[in-house]
């Protein structure tokens, strides 16, 4: 994928920014549209048509809806067509094989995985097999983003966009197209029409992008090596401490991987004149699961709250309806992340915990010392990540058993070697995932001000820190081959 290659960082991105700066204002959205398609095609050339079809569906649905005036049934029909077609694209590419496999397993059927292939081949003379379909990168992100436009238009929260290029620029905007944050049309509606890039916003964008890049390549990639080593082990003989060490490494990896990409996207948005919403707010400092999900993947949580939870009635219909609504939201959240029973159970796990916190557990957590409520939250999240990361239920069960000593030993020599080998990167990740850097900065700033220092030391040092992080990240990208983006799979 593009972000995994040095070529993108040193050719594509600077070229796009230069062309964008030199392009007249009226054509800037066309540059964004074209650069988004090229960016996506670089990593997934076969499925650019899916991205374009998604744009066309919602663009024309919006146009027709606007022409329906005050006719509610016609407007509702446009909305239904948009939602059904978007979810249809998502279902065909992401969930068809899962549904067929489930039906085969439950009812003893023998439906072929290429059940649609025969019809496609007959109609189009192709040689197509559904079982060989590769999931389009970021399809869950851009379909939800595009679909939010027609929903908000139906609700009267935004004005119709009549210019296809401007609308397509919004959907295909390359900084966040494949892994978020999920940007709603209303977030950038005004900026699509009129925006500017000052020297300050450009500087802030570069700083934010570099911070995200460093999170990704210096922290996520290096702690990820520890998880890869543990994950490839035989779980039946895996010492308990090694299993815990591995899943803690993944817990840190997925945070720095995803939040790093989000920082890069927000930074690139600033360079282009857009203010994208924040997607993370130190989630591993949370003291309840509810708080964790207010801090983790914020834009996805807001999407489900706005378009599923609240329309279902939210918490307005009593305890039973609230539980029902939360159950639906968390089932859909699990399925959004992937088409497997592990993701269904992952969503159910957090759904049960959040319901319990709303009913009684939240009051108990408030009475506990902060450390214990934090420890509960982290254990809940860590077990959730086991479900999230494992490929199947048997692997999940095997790994959890290993965490509780089924491997026959608490630790071994390899455990000690892993701790020594990765102790520095574990410490760095734990430090930067906490609020310690913020607290240290605030305390030092206060002391320097009391000492009579009249300028902001941290602001003065920021350009040098940014340059150092960029150099170190570049060196890593050039020398290392392990550079996955975990959320590209969704």
**In Å, how far are 101, 103, 105 from 108, measured between CA atoms?**
10, 7, 5
**Cα–Cα distance for residue pair 225/204, rounded to 1 Å:** 31
Q: Minimal CA–CA distance to 91: which of 111, 123, 118, 116?
A: 116
Q: Residue 337 catalytic? A: yes
Write out the two tokens for 279.
């997607």
Write out the two tokens for 205.
């964008």
Q: E-assigned strands of 333-415?
A: none
Write out the two tokens for 174.
């390359």
Q: E-assigned strands of 123-226?
A: none
Write out the two tokens for 156.
């009267």
**Cα–Cα distance for residue pair 452/445, rounded to 1 Å:** 11
**Cα–Cα distance for residue pair 396/404, rounded to 1 Å:** 13
- Residue 36 in contact with residue 169, Cβ under 8 Å? yes
**Cα–Cα distance for residue pair 302/299, rounded to 1 Å:** 5
Q: Minimal CA–CA distance to 276: which of 174, 158, 159?
A: 174
Write out the two tokens for 348.
């159910």
**In Å, how far are 15, 133, 186 from 48, measured between CA atoms?**
21, 14, 25
Q: Minimal CA–CA distance to 245: which of 30, 448, 423?
A: 423
Question: Which one is catalytic: 50, 272, 337, 476?
Answer: 337
**In Å, how far are 135, 342, 349, 390 from 393, measured between CA atoms?**
21, 6, 14, 8
**In Å, how far are 6, 32, 161, 176, 267 from 137, measured between CA atoms?**
19, 19, 26, 12, 21
In the three-class reduction of DSSP (H, G, I as helix; E, B as strand; rest coil), residue 71 is classed as: coil
Write out the two tokens for 453.
């220092």
Assess whether the previous peptide bond of 138 is cis (omega < 30° from 0). Answer: no
Element housing 352 (H / E): helix 341-356
Distance of alpha carbon 275 from the chain centroid: 17
Write out the two tokens for 155.
């609700």
Where in the sequence numbering do the catalytic residues fall? 337
């Amino acid at each position: 994928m593009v972000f995994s290659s040095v070529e993108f960082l040193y050719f594509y991105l600077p070229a796009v920014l230069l062309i964008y700066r030199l392009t007249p204002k009226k054509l800037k959205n066309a540059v964004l549209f074209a650069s988004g398609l090229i960016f996506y095609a670089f990593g997934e050339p076969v499925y650019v048509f899916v991205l374009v079809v998604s744009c066309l569906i919602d663009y024309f649905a919006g146009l027709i809806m606007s022409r329906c005036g005050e006719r509610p049934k016609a407007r509702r029909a446009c909305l239904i067509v948009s939602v059904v077609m978007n979810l249809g694209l998502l279902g065909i590419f992401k969930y068809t094989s899962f549904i067929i496999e489930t039906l085969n397993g439950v009812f003893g059927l023998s439906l072929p995985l290429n059940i649609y292939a025969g019809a496609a081949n007959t109609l189009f003379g192709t040689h197509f097999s559904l079982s060989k379909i590769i999931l389009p990168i970021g399809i869950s992100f851009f379909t939800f983003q595009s679909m939010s436009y027609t929903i908000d238009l139906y609700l009267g929260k935004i004005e119709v966009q009549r210019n296809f290029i401007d609308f397509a620029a919004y959907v295909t905007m390359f900084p966040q197209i494949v892994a978020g944050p999920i940007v709603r049309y209303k977030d950038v509606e005004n900026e699509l029409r009129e925006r500017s890039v000052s020297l300050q916003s450009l500087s802030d964008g570069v700083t934010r992008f570099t911070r995200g890049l460093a999170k990704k390549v210096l922290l996520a990639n290096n702690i990820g090596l520890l998880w890869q080593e543990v994950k490839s082990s035989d779980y039946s003989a895996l010492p308990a401490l090694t299993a815990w060490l591995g899943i803690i490494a993944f817990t840190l990896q997925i945070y720095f991987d995803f939040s790093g990409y989000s920082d890069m996207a927000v930074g690139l948005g600033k360079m282009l004149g857009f203010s994208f919403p924040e997607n993370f707010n130190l989630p591993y400092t949370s003291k309840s699961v509810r708080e964790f999900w207010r801090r983790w993947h914020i834009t996805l949580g807001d999407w489900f709250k706005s378009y599923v939870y609240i329309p279902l009635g939210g918490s307005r219909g009593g305890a039973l309806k609230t539980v029902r609504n939360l159950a639906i939201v968390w089932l859909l959240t699990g399925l959004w992340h992937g088409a497997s029973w592990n993701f269904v159970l992952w969503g159910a796990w957090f759904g049960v915990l959040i319901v319990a916190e709303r009913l009684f557990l939240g009051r108990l957590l408030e009475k506990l010392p902060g450390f214990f409520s934090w420890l509960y939250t982290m254990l809940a999240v860590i077990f959730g990540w086991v479900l999230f990361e494992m490929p199947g239920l048997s692997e999940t069960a095997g790994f959890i058993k290993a965490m509780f000593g089924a491997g026959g030993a608490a630790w071994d020599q390899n455990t000690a070697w892993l701790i020594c080998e990765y102790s520095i990167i574990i410490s760095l990740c734990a430090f930067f995932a906490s609020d310690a850097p913020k607290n240290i900065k605030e305390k030092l700033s206060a002391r320097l001000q009391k000492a009579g220092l009249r300028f902001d030391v941290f602001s003065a040092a920021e350009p040098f820190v940014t340059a150092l992080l960029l150099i170190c990240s570049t060196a890593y990208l050039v020398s290392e081959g392990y550079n996955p983006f975990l959320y590209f799979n969704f």
